Homo-oligomer: A and B are copies of this chain.
Amino acid sequence: MTQTAAIIGGGVIGGGWLARFLLNGWNVNLYDPDTQAERKIAAVLENARHALPMLYDVTLPKEGKLKICSTIQEAVTDTSWIQESVPERLDLKHKVFSEIVATAPKDAIIGSSTSGFKPSELQQGLSSPASVLVAHPFNPVYLLPLVELVPSSANPVLVLDRAKQILTSLGMFPLHVRKEIDAHIADRFLEAVWREGLWLIKDGIATTQEIDDAIRYGFGLRWAQMGLFETYRIAGGEEGMAHFIEQFGPCLQWPWTKLMDVPELTDELIVQIADQSNVQSGDKSIRDLERLRDNNLIALLRALKGQDTAAGALINAHEANIKPALPEIIEEPLMTIKRVIPIDWTDYNGHMNESRYGQVFSDAADIVMQTVGANADYIRSGLSYFTVDIQIKFLAETHAGSSIHVKSFVLQGEGKKMRLFHQMFLDNGTLMASGEQMLIHVSLETRRACEPRADVLEKLEMVAAIHAKLPDPRGV
């Protein structure tokens, strides 16, 4: 049966929760006295509907129904999860929680999005606090998996387990914070960084832009896949975590941050950290961890490269500088592609996914186009070639890290038609795949076929004439 969640308090966080539930097939009851709430929720929901379905390679469950409620009582009726996201004032939260608890179903989980308050603070004065705990998410709530789940001693284990189960079913990661503390875990780091950042700006050391660049081009990339400690375990190298701590221990006494109230680095603390790190990283050697980190970083950096943003834009700029010249037109097939097969082109089994042969040949066709003058300027002028069909023969398995090259033949180049034949080789000469591809010249305005510009057609015909004298490669 479809379950129902109540969202108490819209805004960016409440709206994010609402979207997360709705897009995972839950019905949602919204209560928010703000007259702008519906408009704000609609904006978050539009973002979420754009984003979350793209995350998966299967479809999400059918979206649930959204109901706008005019009282808390109406909103919490027949719900399995109630999420409070009202402003960070304890008196206000107390008022909202006593209203919720008065009418909520007995077995509904009541989560608070609070960034800072402890669950025992929220539970103060409640007649039945057992179902109230902290479920602190991260913006954008519909995309980021982390939820800090913080119980107090008033919460039975069953409540915690049910909360974990529900959050997991929404694609989230419930991090059980075992001991109550102001600001839980993640926000303690965010707050420390925020305070340090304010100092850097106040002291004129760095601007917001410079600080953001210092994060997103460096350790931010590391932290997207491993956190702080596993990253440092690797940095400790062969000598391990305890060595790393001892080596960097003295810095704790140095004024490397304005935040100087530091714990004493006792032997006991060092052993505690090293032991926890051993449990965390299990049997993986430093070499294993290095390889894992590097593969993750390549995948992340190439993901940003595909979007041409952040560190990916830097890689594209560098690539433009080291891009080889266009192939020479001689009495040989065009040498269109020379590259290495990246880790993100392979399946779990380490073989190149069959679709990526099509990528290689599509990239090869781009180079042929540029060679005959149908380059970026030409495309900007509103003309291009579109592939209408391709036939790919798969001859051998290709692996990540392999160096490959592609030879391209112009089989036909007349009027609107360009027929190409590509052969992909390992650099040792093994033929791995071939592709016969038909492209049609189009106007990007009308999206219909049209004649190429005269100089492009002339050059294409010239290459086709040269290649016609070569043996037909399709016989190979």
Contact = CB atoms under 8 A, between A and B. Distances in A.
A273 B201 contact: yes
B179 A189 contact: no
Contact of A228 (B215, B230, B256, B276): B215
Contacts of A127: none
Interface stretch (A75-83, A102-110, A340-348, A413-421): A340-348
B212 A276 contact: no
A378 interface: no
A200 B188 contact: yes
A388 interface: yes
Given A192-B196, A307-B295, A388-B393, A206 B223 contact: no
A391 B387 CA distance: 12
Given A220-B224, A308-B348, A363-B57, A195 B192 contact: yes
Interface stretch (A91-99, A297-305, A459-467): A297-305
Contact of A143 (B12, B43, B297): B297
Main secondary structure of the interface of A (DSSP, over half): helix
A392 to B, nearest CB: 5
A166 interface: no
B198 A298 contact: no
A148 interface: yes
Determine which residue in A178, A185, A227, A273 has the highest number of CB atoms from chain B within 10 A of its CB, and name it.
A227
A474 interface: no
A215 B193 contact: no
Given A54-B340, A216-B225, A257-B191, A292 B315 contact: no
Interface stretch (A63-71, A156-164, A261-269, A449-457): A261-269
A219 B190 contact: yes
Interface string A213-248: 111111111111111111000110100000000001
A390 B392 contact: yes
Interface string A384-411: 0011111111100100110100000000
A146 interface: yes
A79 to B, nearest CB: 22
Contacts of A11: 237
A188 B98 CA distance: 43
Contacts of A400: 54
A303 B50 CA distance: 18
Contacts of A468: none
Interface in A340-393: 340-344, 348, 353-359, 362-363, 386-393
Given A56-B319, A194-B228, A201-B276, A303 B362 contact: no
A287 to B, nearest CB: 7
Nearest to A348: B308
A233 to B, nearest CB: 8
B319 A43 contact: no
Contacts of A389: 391-394
A412 interface: no
B223 A215 contact: yes
Contacts of A226: 212, 216, 310
A418 to B, nearest CB: 14
A54 B343 contact: yes
A292 B190 CA distance: 22
A279 interface: yes
Contact of A213 (B218, B227, B321): B227
A467 B462 CA distance: 47
A443 interface: no
Interface string A10-24: 011000000000000
B298 A175 contact: no
Contacts of A280: 207-209, 212
Contacts of A145: 217-218, 311, 314-315
A258 B189 CA distance: 10
Contacts of A340: 53-54, 56, 59
A72 to B, nearest CB: 24
Which 4 residue pairs spanning A and B have beta carbons closest together?
A: A212-B227, A259-B259, A220-B223, A146-B218
5 contacts: A59-B324, A223-B224, A225-B310, A258-B259, A296-B309
